């Protein structure tokens, strides 16, 4: 079930961006049924056991869908982040750009390929693989 704060976030976007956000939220909720979802650092994020898996945010160029452990998915469409973390993302400017087959594959990988971001501070910035 989608957190009402995420729906409010989606509803606050411009129409084309709202369509992207609603499509992403529906697919993520439909595939990650046991994941908690909430607004985290001002953006919609889904968690398993307190560990962030996937989220999206509005940027100047569109809506960015980000997977916290996405670098290890070995998916050409997901572009690695610029920091020391394992994130990778894709940018959308229209809902019809969302490849549902690819998104479903990435969400499945997000459940099985995880780095422990939840305990990052406790481990003084050292990431460990948990699944």
- Angle at which helices 100-112 and 15-31 pack, to 10 degrees? 50
Residues 6 or more apart whose Cβ sits within 8 Å of residue 104? 27, 31
pTM of the model: 0.89
CATH architecture of 4-112: Alpha-Beta Complex (3.90)
Q: What is the pLDDT of residues 8-62, one digit of tens each?
A: 999 999 999 999 999 999 999 999 999 999 999 999 999 998 989 999 999 999 9
pLDDT of residue 85: 82
């Amino acid at each position: 079930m989608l957190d009402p704060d995420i729906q409010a976030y989606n509803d606050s976007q411009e129409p084309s961006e709202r369509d992207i956000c609603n499509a992403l939220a529906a697919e993520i909720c439909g595939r990650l049924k046991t994941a908690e979802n909430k607004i985290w650092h001002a953006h919609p994020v889904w968690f398993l056991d307190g560990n962030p898996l996937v989220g999206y945010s509005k940027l100047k160029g569109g809506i960015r869908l980000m997977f916290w452990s996405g670098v290890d998915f070995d998916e050409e469409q997901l572009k690695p982040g610029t920091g020391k973390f394992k994130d990778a993302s894709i940018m959308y400017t229209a809902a019809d750009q969302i490849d549902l087959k690819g998104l479903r594959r990435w969400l499945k990988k997000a459940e099985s390929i995880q780095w422990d971001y939840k305990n990052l501070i406790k481990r003084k910035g050292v990431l460990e693989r948990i699944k």
